[in-house]
Amino acid sequence: MSERRAQSFAVVAILLLFCTSCGVVRFIATHDYEVNGVSAEKAAVWNRELQQDKDYVVLIHGYGSKSSFMEPIADLLTDKGYRVVNIQYPTTDSIESIADIYITSVLQRLDSRVTTHFVTHSMGSVVLRYYLQRHSMSQLGKVVFVAPPSHGSPLADLALARWLRSGFGSGLLQLGANNDSFVNSLPKPSYSCYVLAGNSGYPIFSWLISGKDDGLVATDSAPLEGCKFKLITGVAHHSIVYDKRTLDEIENYLK
């Protein structure tokens, strides 16, 4: 391990120990379950007033985020006439629980005759990939994975992260880059998909990742076999969602 990487690990270790011991990580990563845009009442209205030209777009955020993080995408697609469903979930749960409990309950409210697209960020991509592995959708549209840990992140493999499992929750630890990790056990997508990735890292965290990265995920590990891919240069793991180029790519791909 290089001296720079060793120093980075030490700094990360101290920060994580402090944040976990104070409950900061769990506070940030645990959110109330919330769905913006599709209450049971609104879903019923949508279903009664079925219009085939108004597709659904379901948004799924990543670890430690909230539905508000996806609002730039939600606002754009709402303006373009899509019926947007923005899901918020507790990110400390396991991938399986998030998909089986929170995602499933939302999708069951939607009219199965209407095309449903998805836009995910980070861990949200893994949640969706797991869901689609277990559930068939007759009207599945297109899927956009933004900054996905398609083949995991070495940060999730750190021994320290596993030691602090109670603070991080199990979902994050399923994103390891090892060949036998949860994310690497998922099959390749069999549906239309598009991966958007950044290449501008974060100090300290990027020093723990080999090669170019977005601060949390190695850039060359983002592509998925069978998915279209585009690199959004100069953006990091989170800022990619707010970049106009990202929004333009999402809009154009879903057309």
* DSSP string for 138-194: TTEEEEEEES--TT--GGGG-HHHHHTHHHH-HHHHTT--STTSSGGGSPPP-S-EE
Residue 212 has a pLDDT of 93
Domains within the chain, CATH numbers bracketed: 3-254 (3.40.50.1820)
Those residues with Cβ within 8 angstroms of residue 69's Cβ, 6 or more apart along the chain or in another chain? 61, 62, 121, 238, 241
Q: What is the pTM of this model?
A: 0.82
User: What pLDDT score was predicted for residue 187?
Assistant: 96
Quickly tell me which residue has 């154009």 as its tokens. 252
In DSSP terms, 213 is beta-bridged to: 218
Dihedral (Cα; 242, 20, 60, 207), 10-degree rounding: 50
pLDDT by residue, tens only, the chain of 255 residues: 454 444 444 444 434 443 433 443 444 444 555 666 555 455 555 555 555 569 999 999 999 899 999 999 999 999 999 999 999 999 889 999 999 999 999 999 999 899 999 999 999 999 999 999 999 999 999 999 999 999 999 888 775 455 455 556 788 889 999 999 999 999 999 999 999 999 998 877 787 888 899 999 999 999 999 999 999 999 999 999 999 999 999 999 999
Which residue in 64, 71, 81, 54 sits closest to 30, CA to CA? Answer: 64
